[in-house]
Amino acid sequence: MNADSDFLARCANAVLEGDREAASRLAREALDRRLDVVDVVEKGFVVGIREAGRRWEAGEYFLPELAFSAEAMKAALELLRPSLLESPSPGTSKGTVIIGTIQGDIHDIGKTLVGTMLAANGYRVVDLGADVSHERFVDEARNQGANLVCMSALLTTTMVGQKEVIRLLREAGMRERVRVLVGGAPTSEEWAGEIGADGYAENAVEAVHVADELLAS
């Protein structure tokens, strides 16, 4: 069942206000009411963390406020992740994905959600975490035999690192066999084209669709 707009707004506000207890309570309520978990996450909790990130970049939030918002988001995701991971095809793999937040950027909520959704949809996901060096993306892609590299950036100052990773993949002779998907608040389809990425996704659900298309081609 889809969540109503009031419930989604309360989810977003719980994260925006850094209220871990409220976020957990709402996540449990979503499960008890058998609401569409993807809908609750994407249209509720994620809306809150994106706004918190925007306020931080604009100087309206300071690091402690951003950290509280991130903790509230994590609390909700911890409860909802098992439902997100209910894959219809366990034991199969569409391919190996390397995912991480680019060097200099500590934001990992959006990236974690994308990784969770990819895993739930049949991919083997290797999550490198946040503040991942450009070289490590390439090394892990090589070591894990990756089919797809997903890079997230929430800051305009770090998004340029996505271009550097693509350059390093090309330099290592891996670019032909490894697809690249980028995402994050300051990125766009135009940015993906500019840096030579294969695709761009605005949210976790779209990331799954784009990954399917990229690896099917």
Amino acid at 42: E
Q: What is the domain-level CATH number for residue 13?
A: 1.10.1240.10
Could you tell me if residue 145 is left (phi over 0), alpha (psi between -120 and 50 degrees) or otherwise beta? left
**DSSP classification of residue 122:** T
Residue scoring higher pLDDT (86 or 125): 125
Cβ neighbours of 208 (radius 10 Å): 20
Same domain (yes/no): 102, 166: yes
For CA atoms 189, 195, 198, 204, the dihedral sign is: negative
Q: Which domain holds residue 211?
A: 96-216
Q: Which region among 136-140, 179-183, 192-196, 213-217 has the lowest average model confidence (pLDDT)?
A: 213-217
The verdict on 124 and 209 lying in the same domain is yes
User: Is 89 a member of any domain?
Assistant: no
pLDDT in tens, 135-180: 999 999 999 999 999 999 988 999 999 999 999 999 999 999 999 9
Q: Binning pLDDT at 50, 70 and 90, where does residue 201 land?
A: very high
90 found inside a domain: no
Across 13-27, 38-52, 59-73, 194-208, which has the greatest mean pLDDT? 13-27
Domain end: 54, 84, 114, which one? 84
> Is the same domain home to 108 and 38?
no
How far is Cα 45 from Cα 64, in angstroms, rounded to an integer? 19
Q: Could you tell me if residue 91 is inside a domain?
A: no
Beta bridge partners of 64: none
CB-based contacts of 134, cutoff 8 Å, min separation 6: 102, 103, 161, 164, 165, 168
Residue 64 has pLDDT above 90, yes or no: no
